[in-house]
Amino acid sequence: MMFCGHIWSVATLSAPKFRDFLIISNQVKMSITPEKKQFIQYIAGGLSTLMNGSMLAEEIYTSNLPWPNKEWIEDPTELYINDNILEGSSFSEDKFCKAMETIDKGTLWELLTYFDSRDMSISHAYIESCLVVNDLPEELQGFAESIDYREIETFEDFLEL
C-alpha cells in the first residue's frame, strides 16, 4: 500500500492504529441514510429483547461499575452502550432511539458490528421486534423485505447496502 510516496504495511501498525485503520476502511464501504437510522429505531424493541434476554445488558452494566481491586476491561463500544443506551442494567429503547439521532458514523458502525459479533444481527433484531412489513412507513418497507428475503442478514450487510 502506498501512502505519501512510502510503502506502508498494515502489519507494522500498533494495535490502536490498526483498529483505527479498520474503522476508517470499513466506513468507506458504509452508507448510512436517515431512513436507515429510522429503520434501526423501529427495531429497537428487538434489540432490547436480545440484549436483556441474553443478559448482555446486565453484563455490560456490571463490568463498568467501579469495583475495588477490579481491573477494568475498557471496551469503547461497551462504554458507549453503558453511557448512552442502558437504563441501569437494562437496554432502554428510548435512550437507544435518542442515541441514533446524534451518533456519528464511526461509532454507529462499531455499535452495529458489535451487535453482529454478539449474535444479535439485524435479522434477529427484526424478528424479535415482532414487526411486519406493513407496520413500517412505505420508505422503510424495502429494508424489512430485504431481511425477509435474506438479502440482508447482518448489520454490516445493512450498512453496505
85: Cα within 13 Å, side-chain hemisphere: 30
Return the domain boundaries, the chain.
32-160
- What average pLDDT score do residues 69-81 get? 75
Residue 2 has pLDDT above 90, yes or no: no
- What average pLDDT score do residues 77-89 get? 94
The predicted-structure confidence for 108-132, as pLDDT tens digits, reads as follows 999 999 999 999 999 999 999 999 9
Give the Cα separation of 76 and 80 in Å (integer): 6
Residue 12 has pLDDT above 80, yes or no: no
- The residue whose grid cell reads 451487535 is 115
Confidence category of residue 144, pLDDT binned at 50, 70, 90: very high
